């Protein structure tokens, strides 16, 4: 075992090279957490895109070296105002204020050596475990001088695929006055969090993205968080304050080559980096500081004195304005100074509702999600068309008896002011006894589409969050018109939803199926525009998937890549979908859902719902709704099929050489099935192409599986 003297002697010859950019990616894989870094790629991106990168790097490196050698270092407590930008889509990622306060408590303990588990630091490092004298406080005044509790909530589906662009949806508060922290449900990299060095975001290039982006589940130890991951925020703020990983500038921990890389800190021994807690690990000739917040060990307990000095140097440098954060004038401007008396903020109303589709007399549960205030406000709801029509309780239940589309309004007030939010066209009530009948044909020739001017029960409904949604166009397979979604004008993963009217089916229509024409071409081979079709038999209360195709599989022009697409009559494909278990329902509704992949337009025409007498001759993908999605397969992929009666099902999985990997045979009772592919085959598929033969009551069809 090496002593601290050994460590200090070793570190006297450590390189002082400072690394200017750090993007930390913390990947979650099942129950074991492994941290990975794409530092090299991010560093190159900053070098290429940020014109101030090299100048700022040199300036900060020189300033840090001078500060470390200075004898004028102060122990004054640096207070940093903080704002949390909660990016959510009304899921659990809309974390509570209590969870955020818990996160602030934890980072304050970690940066001030107040965490109770400092007693677990091994003796060899207890002497250099540092109190950084850095404190974090939620802002009480926003950039415009308004009252705030330091939390901004922004509703966006991009919370499920967040990155630097997503930050623009909840714009950064002045980075010289606030530490900006964005929280999200998932990051586009699959990561748990990332941050930048001050020099990387210096200048105009980094103004809007400077700060920390982190998963909601890595924030605090309550709510969606837990204490094991709560230190990730301390780790990310370390990067924000110019700390590297303990193993320095490499893409991943655990590499022997990391021994030759330095983190720029005098008292952190060179190490290969750790993802487990071997506290007496010796990987580069000296005892590793495994319990350091800048390692990946998940048993982190400390910053070192050298790291403290480096962070405080960053807070005294003008690079990216870190030196203004803790000034007396800024603390007064942000309401974080000692003695500031928090004001009562005007509440900001928001709400969520459960059930937006349903039949007559459906009940809707509303929930108040007002924020920017803890309590002490009054509520007034307005529910046009609902019973009751008004309410002043937090979470009212409202019933709707009449067919139509309805909105709701919430007004909240306190001594500081009153605010109101109205959400229009959110509740959709359907009369199941009216609408279209069968045979049903829709060719989109009605010039008033989606409205039927003579019978409102035959109206179509268009919803979704896309910039450009479903619309009627003068392109068609038959006739003059069809409908399309122009995905070339939509951003990635935006959705466009098209809902049919209610369709009344006949009592003897057990062989019902429907067909439609679709047209699509890819711009790039990587385009993943997707079309899905769902069916509901309860007025839209619940939906069941019947069809999904995307990318090359959806293309109808033979696979040719084109920069823009307007189909001729040869570039349409007829799709046939069996209603399966829904063929004997008294009424159904159909939803066409397009998810943008930044590609070309998707066109839809000539929908037909009729009867089929020889349904047994159809392939299983039609008669039994047989499909695998998503495909390429991942751990979430499912095999779906419907059975109208008890049936014998055989499944045989083979590789491209024809070798049978697994075989499954069993009897299934009537009903819909969605079986997890990995659990079904009990095998971890390697990269490649596979073939799944499915046989139901003697009829077979083979599906191709792709594992990337």
- pLDDT score, position 5: 39
The superfamily CATH assigns to domain 351-430 is Immunoglobulins (2.60.40.10)
- pLDDT score, position 704: 82
pLDDT (average), residues 45-49: 77
pLDDT (average), residues 400-419: 96
Lowest mean pLDDT among 38-52, 76-90, 263-277, 563-577: 38-52
- pLDDT score, position 42: 54
Cβ neighbours for 227, distance < 8 A, ≥ 6 positions apart: 106, 221
- 632 upstream amide cis, omega within 30 of 0: yes
Please spell the DSSP secondary structure of 584-610, one letter per residue. Answer: GSSEEEEEEEEE--S---EEEEEEEEE
- pLDDT score, position 507: 54
* 73 — pLDDT class (breaks 50, 70, 90): confident
**Cα→Cα distances 79→147, 304, 315, 372, 702, Å:** 19, 20, 10, 22, 64
* CB contact burial 347-362 (16+ within 10 A = b; e otherwise): bbbbbeeeebbbbeeb
Domain residue ranges of the chain, discontinuous segments joined by +? 4-334, 351-430, 434-614, 619-708
With CA atoms as reference, report the closest residue to 616 among 548, 673, 545, 696: 696
pLDDT (average), residues 584-593: 92
Model pLDDT for residues 138-175, shown as the tens digit of each residue: 999 999 999 999 999 999 989 998 999 999 999 999 99
CATH class for domain 434-614? mainly beta
* 44 — pLDDT class (breaks 50, 70, 90): low
Burial class (CB in 10 A: 0-12, 13-18, 19+), 686: exposed
Q: Are strands 573-578 and 461-464 parallel, antiparallel or unpaired?
A: unpaired
- pLDDT score, position 510: 41
Percentage, residues of the chain above pLDDT 90: 68
- 553 among known catalytic residues: no
Place of tokens 């989109």: 444
User: Left (φ > 0), alpha (ψ -120 to 50) or beta: where does 339 sit?
Assistant: left
The CATH number of the structural domain formed by 4-334 is 3.40.390.10
Name the catalytic one among 39, 93, 236, 442: 236
Q: Is the pLDDT of residue 37 over 90?
A: no
* 118 — pLDDT class (breaks 50, 70, 90): very high
pLDDT (average), residues 273-292: 94
pLDDT (average), residues 297-311: 95
Mean pLDDT of the chain: 88
What CA–CA distance (Å, rounded) separates 205 from 172? 13
**In 346-392, beta strands by DSSP E:** 351-354, 357-359, 362-368, 378-382, 386-387, 390-391
Q: Is the pLDDT of residue 614 over 60?
A: no
Model pLDDT for residues 502-524, shown as the tens digit of each residue: 999 865 544 567 899 999 999 99
Model pLDDT for residues 212-256, shown as the tens digit of each residue: 999 999 999 999 999 889 999 999 999 999 999 999 877 689 999
Asked if 584 and 510 touch (Cβ cutoff 8 Å), the reply is yes
Asked if 121 and 287 touch (Cβ cutoff 8 Å), the reply is no
- pLDDT score, position 513: 76
φ and ψ at residue 511, rounded to 5 degrees: -105, 25
Q: 153 pairs with which residues across the strands?
A: 86
- pLDDT score, position 617: 60
Burial class (CB in 10 A: 0-12, 13-18, 19+), 474: exposed
**In 401-509, beta strands by DSSP E:** 404-414, 417-430, 436-437, 440-442, 461-464, 471-473, 482-485, 495-499, 503-504
Q: Provide the whole-model pTM.
A: 0.82
**Cα→Cα distances 688→592, 632, 640, 693, Å:** 31, 10, 22, 17
User: Pick the residue with more confidence: 579 or 296?
Assistant: 296
* 7 — pLDDT class (breaks 50, 70, 90): very low
Cβ neighbours for 498, distance < 8 A, ≥ 6 positions apart: 460, 461, 462, 470, 483, 591, 592, 593, 594, 604
Q: Is the pLDDT of residue 355 over 60?
A: yes
The answer to whether domain 351-430 and domain 619-708 are alike in fold is: yes
* 71 — pLDDT class (breaks 50, 70, 90): confident
What CA–CA distance (Å, rounded) separates 160 from 493? 10
The CATH number of the structural domain formed by 619-708 is 2.60.40.2550
Q: Is the pLDDT of residue 17 over 60?
A: no
What CA–CA distance (Å, rounded) separates 391 from 507? 42
- pLDDT score, position 151: 98
Torsion over CA: 322, 327, 329, 331 (sign): positive
């Amino acid at each position: 075992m090496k002593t601290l003297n050994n460590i200090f002697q070793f570190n006297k010859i450590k390189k002082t090279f400072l690394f200017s950019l750090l993007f930390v990616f913390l990947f979650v894989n099942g129950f074991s957490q492994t941290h990975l870094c794409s530092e090299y790629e991010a560093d190159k991106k900053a070098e290429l895109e940020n014109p101030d990168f090299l100048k700022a790097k040199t300036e900060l490196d020189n300033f840090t070296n001078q500060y470390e050698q200075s004898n004028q270092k102060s122990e004054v407590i640096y207070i940093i105002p903080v704002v949390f930008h909660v990016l959510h889509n009304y899921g659990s990622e809309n974390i509570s204020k209590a969870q955020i306060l818990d996160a602030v408590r934890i980072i304050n303990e970690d940066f001030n050596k107040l965490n109770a588990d400092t007693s677990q630091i091994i003796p060899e490092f207890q002497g250099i475990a540092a109190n950084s004298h850095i404190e974090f406080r939620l802002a009480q005044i926003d950039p415009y001088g308004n009252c705030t509790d330091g939390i901004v909530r922004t509703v966006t589906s991009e919370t499920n695929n967040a990155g630097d662009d997503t930050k623009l949806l909840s714009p950064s508060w002045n980075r010289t006055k606030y530490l900006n922290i964005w929280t999200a449900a998932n990051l586009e990299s699959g990561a748990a969090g990332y941050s930048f060095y001050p020099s990387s975001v210096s200048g105009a290039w980094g103004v809007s993205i400077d700060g920390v982006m982190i998963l909601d589940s890595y924030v605090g130890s309550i709510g969606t968080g837990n204490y094991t991951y709560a230190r990730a925020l301390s780790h990310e703020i370390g990067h924000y304050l110019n700390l590297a990983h303990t193993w320095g500038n490499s893409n991943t921990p655990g590499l022997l080559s990391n021994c030759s890389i330095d983190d720029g800190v005098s008292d952190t021994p060179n190490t290969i980096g750790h993802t487990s807690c071997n506290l007496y690990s010796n990987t580069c000739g000296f005892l590793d500081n495994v319990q350091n917040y800048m390692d990946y060990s998940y048993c982190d307990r400390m910053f070192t004195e050298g790291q403290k000095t480096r962070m405080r140097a960053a807070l005294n440098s003008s690079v990216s304005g870190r030196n203004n954060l803790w000034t007396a004038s800024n603390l007064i401007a942000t309401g974080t100074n000692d003695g500031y008396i928090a004001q009562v903020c005007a509440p900001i109303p928001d709400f969520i509702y459960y059930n937006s589709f349903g039949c007559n007399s459906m009940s809707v549960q509303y929930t108040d999600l007002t924020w920017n205030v803890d309590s002490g406000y009054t509520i007034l709801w307005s529910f046009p068309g609902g019973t009751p029509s008004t309410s002043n309780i937090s979470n009212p239940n409202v019933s709707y008896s009449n067919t139509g589309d309805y909105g709701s309004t919430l007004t909240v007030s306190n001594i500081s002011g009153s605010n109101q939010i109205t959400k229009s066209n959110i509740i959709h009530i359907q009369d199941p006894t009216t609408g279209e009948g069968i045979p049903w044909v829709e060719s989109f020739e009605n010039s008033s589409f989606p409205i039927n001017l003579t019978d409102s029960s035959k109206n179509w409904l268009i919803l979704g969050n896309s910039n450009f949604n479903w619309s009627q166009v003068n392109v068609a397979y038959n006739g003059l018109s069809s409908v399309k979604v122009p995905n070339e004008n939509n951003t990635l993963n935006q959705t466009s939803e098209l809902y049919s009217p209610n369709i009344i089916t006949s009592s003897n229509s057990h062989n019902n199926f429907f067909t439609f024409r679709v047209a699509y071409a890819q711009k790039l081979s990587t385009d993943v525009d997707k079309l899905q079709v769902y069916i509901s038999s309860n007025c839209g209360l619940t939906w069941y998937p019947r069809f999904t195709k995307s990318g090359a599989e959806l293309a109808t022009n033979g696979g040719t890549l084109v920069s823009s697409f307007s189909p001729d009559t040869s570039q349409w494909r007829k799709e046939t979908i069996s209603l399966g278990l829904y063929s004997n329902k008294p009424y159904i509704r159909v939803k066409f859902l397009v998810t943008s992949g930044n590609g070309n337009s998707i066109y839809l025409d000539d929908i037909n719902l009729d009867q089929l007498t020889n349904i047994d001759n159809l392939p299983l993908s039609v008669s039994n709704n047989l499909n695998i999605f998503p495909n390429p397969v991942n751990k979430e992929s499912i095999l779906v099929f419907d059975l109208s009666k008890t049936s014998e099902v055989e499944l045989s999985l083979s590789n491209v050489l024809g070798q049978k990997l697994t075989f499954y045979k069993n009897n299934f009772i009537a009903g819909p099935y969605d079986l997890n592919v990995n659990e079904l085959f009990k095998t971890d598929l390697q990269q490649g192409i596979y073939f799944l033969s499915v046989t139901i009551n003697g009829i077979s069809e083979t599906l191709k599986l792709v594992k990337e």
